[in-house]
């Protein structure tokens, strides 16, 4: 085998290696494009989740305000009813005392 034949054989091997490298690079580029699409999809989903979370936070804030308002209303109702019940009990006590006095007067006669 002559030097030229050896050089040609080496060039063929180099050409095969370069072809193999080119196909590997193409495969890597395809995978990168696929990864880029997945990353963009993930970023899009995260963006949507962020918007949804902001909406939920707003709704929770309004619910907290409603709960606070309801709590204040319940406290006011409890206080009002407490005063009214005390007035009723006082009236009942006064009636009972009046009946006792009337009974004492009737029993004297």
Over residues 40-99, the pLDDT tens digits come to: 999 999 999 999 999 999 999 899 999 999 999 999 999 999 999 999 999 999 999 998
In a domain, 72, yes or no: yes
pLDDT value of residue 84: 94
Q: What is the mean pLDDT of residues 25-42?
A: 89
In a domain, 69, yes or no: yes
pLDDT value of residue 30: 87
Q: What is the dihedral of CA 58, 59, 64, 70, to 10 degrees?
A: 140
Q: How many alpha carbons lie under 13 Å from residue 37 in its C-beta half-sphere? A: 5
As a whole number of angstroms, the distance between CA 6 and CA 20 comes to 21
Question: Total structural domains in the chain?
Answer: 1
In a domain, 11, yes or no: yes
Q: Which domain holds residue 53?
A: 1-77
pLDDT value of residue 5: 85
């Amino acid at each position: 085998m002559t030097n030229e034949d050896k050089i040609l054989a080496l060039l063929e091997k180099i050409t095969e290696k370069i072809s193999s490298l080119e196909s590997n690079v193409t495969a890597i580029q395809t995978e990168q494009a696929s990864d880029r699409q997945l990353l963009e999809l993930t970023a899009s989903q995260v963006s949507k989740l962020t918007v949804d979370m902001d909406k939920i936070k707003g709704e929770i804030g309004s619910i907290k305000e409603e709960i606070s308002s309801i709590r204040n209303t319940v406290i006011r109702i409890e206080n009002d009813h407490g005063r009214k019940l005390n007035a009723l009990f006082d009236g009942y006590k006064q009636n009972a005392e009046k009946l006792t006095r009337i009974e004492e007067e009737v029993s004297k006669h």
